């Protein structure tokens, strides 16, 4: 198997929604398990996650998550939980009772950060 030439880039063929679920799952997992390597690691991942959210919102007026036991719908369509990251994201949201939330077009980075701060609080 040949490697990529220096001028070639690996193309991510997943949709913005797929990438958003994976990115949010990674943020939740790393935050809840203290898996961040550094502050710059956190900032880079949050930048990437917010950019992915903006991409999804460029295609959709809003992005609505509906979570139930072992399943996820995004904008009323079933999202296949094919990765451990997606499955743990749904499991965590279920445990928190976060069954329905929507990101609206025009959300600011500060609003997104506030959402993540609240959503990833570890219950006492």
Domain boundaries, the chain: 16-119
Instruction: Give the pTM.
Output: 0.80
Q: Nearest CA to 17 among 52, 68, 62? A: 52
C-alpha distances in Å from residue 57, one per residue of 2, 32, 43, 75, 97:
36, 26, 21, 11, 24
Q: Are 85 and 39 in contact (CB under 8 A)?
A: no
How high is the mean pLDDT in each 10-residue block of the chain (124 residues)?
A: 46 80 88 80 90 96 91 92 86 87 96 88 64
pLDDT of residue 52: 95
């Amino acid at each position: 198997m040949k490697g990529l030439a220096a001028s070639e880039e690996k193309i991510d063929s997943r949709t913005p929604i797929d990438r958003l679920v994976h990115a949010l799952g990674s943020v939740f997992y790393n935050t809840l398990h203290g898996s961040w390597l550094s502050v710059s690691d956190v900032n880079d991942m949050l930048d990437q996650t917010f950019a992915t959210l903006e991409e999804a919102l460029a295609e959709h007026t809003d992005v609505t998550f509906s979570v139930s036991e072992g399943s996820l719908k995004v904008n009323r369509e079933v999202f296949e939980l094919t990765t451990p990251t997606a499955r743990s994201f749904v499991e965590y949201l279920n445990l928190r009772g976060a069954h329905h939330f929507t990101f609206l077009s025009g959300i600011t980075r500060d609003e997104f950060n506030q959402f993540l701060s609240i959503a990833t609080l570890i219950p006492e």
